[in-house]
Amino acid sequence: MVIGAAPICVECRHSRFNSDDEGLTCDAFPDGIPDAIIFGDADHTKPYKGDNGIQFEPIEEPDTAD
């Protein structure tokens, strides 16, 4: 079975991963992330229709340098 690459959403600071039945949501798409973005058919580092002006931004890793 081939699963494929994880959606860009899992590394985005705007993602909202929760355990309820809403599916994948984020600040840009509070009612559900479009399949085109989830499956990588659309580049959400650029504006996408209905994204409320919010695009992919990587989750910032905490600075571990002392």
Q: What local confidence, expressed as pLDDT, does residue 11 receive?
A: 92
Tokens representing 11? 């590394």
Question: CB atoms < 10 A from the CB of 65, how many?
Answer: 3
Contacts of 13 (CB under 8 A, 6+ apart): 57, 58, 59, 60
- pTM attached to this predicted model: 0.76
User: What pLDDT sits at residue 25?
Assistant: 92
Backbone Cα Rg of the chain: 13
CB 9 within 8 A of CB 15: yes
The tens digit of pLDDT for each residue in 3-62 reads 677 788 989 999 987 656 667 899 999 999 999 999 899 999 999 999 999 999 999 876
